[in-house]
Each structure stands twice: as structure tokens, then as C-alpha cells.
Amino acid sequence: MSLFDNYESDFQLAIQDAKSKLSSVPSINDPEQRKSALRSIEHATDECLELIDQMNLEVQNLPSNQRSSYNTKIRQYKSQINESKNDLKKLLDDQDKFELFGNRYTDDDDLQDGQRKQLLSNNSSLERSSERLRESQRIALETENIGGNILNDLRAQREQISGTRNTLLAADGYVDKSIKTLKSMSRRLTANKFISYAIIAVLIILIFLVLASKFT
């Protein structure tokens, strides 16, 4: 089983746990138990996001022609997380409303209604800011990993270029040696030709001397 499959299996368990707890929260009447359940759902959702990040990293290491089906799965999983986060946000807003106003809240009190809306708006803004921060952290992590992969690729390419350069230098040295050897052989061949011509000339002279001695 690949690392992607392991992360996918863990994701399925975490998202099912989050959905199960989301469906059970409305039936919890005890405030402390309710808050504990909400924290547990937040933890499960964060775990799902971390697993998505890990799956994304694994897909980046796959050949480009194999990534399409995995990216489709990841998009589906992100959609499930967004649904759970929306349900969780509604429950958190209800929890904030109850904690802020409790039984003192009435729809007829305009002042309290304005305060409630303002506080809930502030809470929503804080939640959105936290979400943007988490998203920025995920992007930073992904960018860091991509940068690390690029540096590794560049390092490998530099080593390949260095190896090629060393090979070319060695080949250049062999060519120089070959040229020197050929020049040396050429000089020896020329010298051997002159020696051969000299021997032939000496033999001819000796032949003429022998013939001349016979006729004298």
C-alpha cells in the first residue's frame, strides 16, 4: 500500500468521525459536553486538512500522467471537508449565541439584538481570519516542499553537468594524447623513410663499385 493510500484511509476515518459527531451535537444538552464535542470535531477537521496536505505532497511526486485521478479524489475530499466546516460553523455560532446571551436574549430587545449581531459578526470575522491563517500556513508548507523539490532537482542537474564536464575534460585529454602519439608516429615514419632511402643509395653505390672493379 502506498503512502497516498495510507493517508486516504486515515482521512476516511477522520471525516466519518467528524460527520458522526456533527450529527450527534444537536442532541447534547449539557453545555460542557457540547463544547467538548465541538472541540473534538474541530480536531478531526484539522486532521482531515493535514491529511489532504500530505496527499497533495504525495501526488506532486507522481508522474504527471498519473496525477489526474488522484487530484479528482482530493477535490472530492476537500468538498467533504468544506461541508463539515460549514455545519461546524453553524453549531459554533449557536454555541456562541447561547454563551453570550443565554436565557436573557429576546427578539423584542433591539439593543440586545444589535449587540448579539455585532458579537456574532466579530466572531465570524475572527473565524475567517483564523481560516485564512491556516490556509496561508498550508500554502507556505506546500511552497516550502515544492521549493525543496526544485532545489533537489537543481542539485541533481548540477551534478549531472559536473559529471558531463569531467567526462569532456577526460575525453579532451585522450584526444590530446592521441594527437601527440600520431605526431610521434609521423615523425618516426618520416625518419624511417630517410633511413630506407639512405640504405638504398648505399646499396646502389656498392653495386656500381663492384661492377666498376670487375671491368678494371
Per-residue model confidence as pLDDT tens for the chain (216 residues): 578 888 888 888 888 888 888 888 888 777 788 788 888 888 888 888 888 888 888 888 888 888 888 888 888 988 888 888 888 888 877 776 666 655 444 444 445 556 666 676 677 778 777 777 888 788 888 888 887 888 888 888 888 888 888 888 888 888 888 888 888 888 888 888 889 888 998 899 888 888 888 776
Look at residue 201 and tell me if it is in a domain: no
What's the DSSP call for residue 109?
Answer: -
Give the pLDDT score at 107: 45
Look at residue 114 and tell me if it is in a domain: yes
pTM: 0.43
Give the pLDDT score at 115: 62
Give the pLDDT score at 131: 79
As a whole number of angstroms, the distance between CA 62 and CA 189 comes to: 62
Determine the 3-state secondary structure of 62 from DSSP: coil
Torsion, Cα 75 78 79 81, to 10 degrees, reads 160
Look at residue 23 and tell me if it is in a domain: yes
Give the pLDDT score at 99: 61
Of 159, 160, 158, 140, nearest in space to 148 by CA: 140
* Residue that has been written with the C-alpha cell 436574549 in this structure: 105
Which residue range(s) make up the domain with 43?
3-167
Give the pLDDT score at 106: 40
Q: Three-state SS string across 148-171, please?
A: HHHHHHHHHHHHHHHHHHHHHHHH
Domain count, the chain: 1
Look at residue 154 and tell me if it is in a domain: yes
Give the pLDDT score at 100: 60
Give the pLDDT score at 212: 81
CATH number of the CATH domain containing 55: 1.20.58.400
Cell of 37: 464535542
Give the pLDDT score at 111: 52
Look at residue 147 and tell me if it is in a domain: yes
